[in-house]
Amino acid sequence: MEWKAVKNLLLVLLLMINAVLGFFNYEQYQQNMLSSSQEKAIYEVLSQNRIILYTDLLTKFPPMRKLSLSAPMYSRDDMKQQFFAQEEVTITVEFNKTIITGENKILTMEGNKGQLVFINGTRESKKITLDEARKEAKEFMESLSIKVAENFEIGNVQEIENGYKVTFFEKYKGEYVFANCFEIYIGEKGISHVDLNYFITEGFTGDKKDICFSDEALLTFLREIEKEREETDIYETVTVQKMELGYDFQEMEYLKVDNVAKLVPCYRIYVLGKQKPYIINAYTNEMIREIKE
C-alpha cells in the first residue's frame, strides 16, 4: 500500500511538472508571436504614412541561428551537363569566366554567379500572363537536376517591362536562403535569360538568437522610406507587395575566411515599382542594403 501511495504521489508530481512546463512553453510561444493588436497597429501606422500592405504579415518569430555557406566547386562538364545536356557546345575561358555556347544558349559563369541567355527565347512569340510566366519558370527549374528542382521554390514574382521576373530561392530545412537564387526573366518569346547565384549550404551554426518581429522591421522600413522622400522630395504612396523572412549576407559580406560565409536572418520587403527588395537584418533590425535604382 505504501509503494502504491508513493507511485500515485510521483504520478501527481509528474503531472504538475508537465503542466508547469506546458505553461512556460505556451508563454514562450506567445512571446514569439505577433498579436492581433500589434498587427492592427502597424497597418494603421503605415496607412497614416501612405504605405499600403498588399501582403499577409509574418506572425511567428522563433529564435534563429546563422547559416553557413561555402564556395561552390564545379567542373565545365558539370555546367555543360546541367544546362546543355547532350547538346554540342563551345567552351571558352576569359580570365575567371567560363563561357559555354550552344545552339540557342550562352552560359557565362564566374565563381558563384552565372547568367544563362536564350538567344532566340524558348518558344514562339505570344503575350504572356503571370500564371504562364510562373508555369514556364517552374518547367525550366524542373529541367535541371533533381536536387535543384527539389530544393528551390518560387519566392517572388514581379511584373517588369515586357514581362515578368520569377525568382526561385533555395529552401533549406524550411527556411529561404536568399543568397542562392535563380532569377528567370520571361517575355513574349518565353525565357530571355536567367541570372543565378549559388553557394553550397553547409548548415546552421552558432546559438539561436532572438529576431525582431515583422512590425518592428516594417517601422525600420518606414523610416527608410521617409528618408528617401525627404531626399527626393517625392511623396508618393508606397505599396508593399510581399514580405519574406530568410537568410542573406550581412552588409554584402562575402566569403572571407576559409571560403566560408555566415548568413544572418533577414527580412525582404518588395515594393511595387522596384525590382530589388529592401533588406533588413532580423537580429539588429537595421537596413543592411539600401536599394538605389
| CB half-sphere exposure, 35, CA atoms < 13 A | 6
CA distance 41 to 193: 42
Instruction: For residue 18, give the C-alpha cell.
Output: 508537465
Nearest to 139 by CA among 104, 170, 97, 168: 168
CA distance 268 to 288: 11
Angle at 163 between CA 157 and CA 169, to 5 degrees: 30
Query: Residue 246 in contact with residue 265, Cβ under 8 Å?
Result: yes
Give φ, ψ of 274 to 5 degrees: -120, 130
81 or 116, higher pLDDT = 116
Which residue is associated with the grid cell 517591362? 161
Distances (CA, A) of 238 to 30, 55, 193: 31, 13, 29
Distances (CA, A) of 98 to 63, 72, 95, 111, 201: 41, 14, 8, 9, 23
User: Which positions ≥6 away from 277 have C-beta within 8 Å?
Assistant: 156, 268, 269, 270, 271, 291
pLDDT tens digit string along 154-207?
988 988 888 999 999 999 999 999 999 999 999 999 999 999 998 889 999 999
Domain 34-68+204-289 fold is Lipocalin (2.40.128)
CA distance 213 to 193: 36
Class of domain 73-199: alpha beta
pTM of the model: 0.82
- 116-120, 216-220, 273-277 — which is least confidently predicted? 273-277
Query: Residue 54 in contact with residue 60, Cβ under 8 Å?
Result: no
Residue 15 in this model has a pLDDT that exceeds 50 = no
Q: What is the mean pLDDT of residues 102-121?
A: 90
For the chain, give every residue range classified as CATH 3.30.310.
Answer: 73-199
- What value does the CA radius of gyration of the chain take, rounded to a whole number of Å? 24
For the chain, give every residue range classified as CATH 2.40.128.
Answer: 34-68+204-289
Residue 22 in this model has a pLDDT that exceeds 60 = no
Query: Residue 277 in contact with residue 263, Cβ under 8 Å?
Result: no
pLDDT tens digit string along 58-71?
889 999 999 999 88
Query: Residue 209 in contact with residue 229, Cβ under 8 Å?
Result: no
Q: What is the pLDDT of residue 13?
A: 46
Q: What is the pLDDT of residue 258?
A: 54
